[in-house]
Amino acid sequence: MKLPHHSTLLFIGDSITDADRKLSGEACAWEPYFGLGYGYVSKIFGWLHAAHPEAGVRVVNKGVSGNTVRELATRWEVDVLAVAPATLCVMIGINDVWRQFDSPQRPEIAVDPEEYRQTLAKLIASARTKVQSIYLASPYFIEPNRADPMRRRMDEYGAIVKELTTANGAVFVDTQAAFDRVLAHLHPMAVAWDRIHSGPVGHMIIARAFLEAFGCLPTLPSLK
């Protein structure tokens, strides 16, 4: 396992990470599930403490629903740098793209590719001296048709994340590819009604992608 023992693992992002977490963003004895929300972060917490209890990893959820990278930047100092986790996981970009499609009359609330690249690059650079490891996850759209306009745009932002990962010595977590493997067998509507906010299947897909990146899973058969 690549996560240091007795260290802090912090996730930050939008509603997918948030998943109705409590303000603390942490598990505790009387609310181990809802402190972290119902999503992939709680599933990762559950696996780590069931499979690697000796590691004693503290898991923190700093997702905020509706965030773009622009909003992420406004709270980065408090939610990331002040915490200085050993391991930082960032998944942002879905709303940056989505606002271009669901609110085309309000272009000011969307984030274009260059602003996205520059802002995310600055955030990563500011964290590099504070944390030991950074994992950057691609934004995703649960749509197998790569010619779909929103899927095509989301892939563009995913490519930016991969580029920044390489440039900063981080680890790329390809959540889009993880969804694509499952979409070879399931219709998008079976995973998420709006092709973004999924139920247990989608959150497990994301959790598995991170756990694989952490080296926390046994070898599993690939989905074909």
Q: Are 111 and 160 in contact (CB under 8 A)?
A: no
Sheet bearing 8-13, strands edge to edge: 58-63, 8-13, 87-91, 133-137, 171-173
Measure the CA–CA gap between 91 and 108, rounded to whole angstroms. 22
Helix (H) or strand (E) run with residue 61 in it: strand 58-63
Catalytic residue IDs: 15, 194, 197
* Alpha carbon distances (Å) from 147 to 114, 115, 150, 152, 210: 22, 24, 8, 6, 27
**Consecutive sets of 10 residues in the chain, 224 residues long: mean pLDDT of each?**
96 96 79 81 93 94 97 98 97 98 93 98 96 98 98 98 97 98 95 94 97 82 56
Q: Please provide the size of the chain in residues.
A: 224
pLDDT at 25: 84
Torsions phi, psi for 9 (to 5 deg): -115, 115
Residue that the structure tokens 């606002």 belong to: 99
pLDDT at 34: 75
pLDDT at 30: 63
pLDDT at 211: 97
Tell me the domain boundaries of the chain: 8-214
Domain 8-214 has CATH 3.40.50.1110: yes
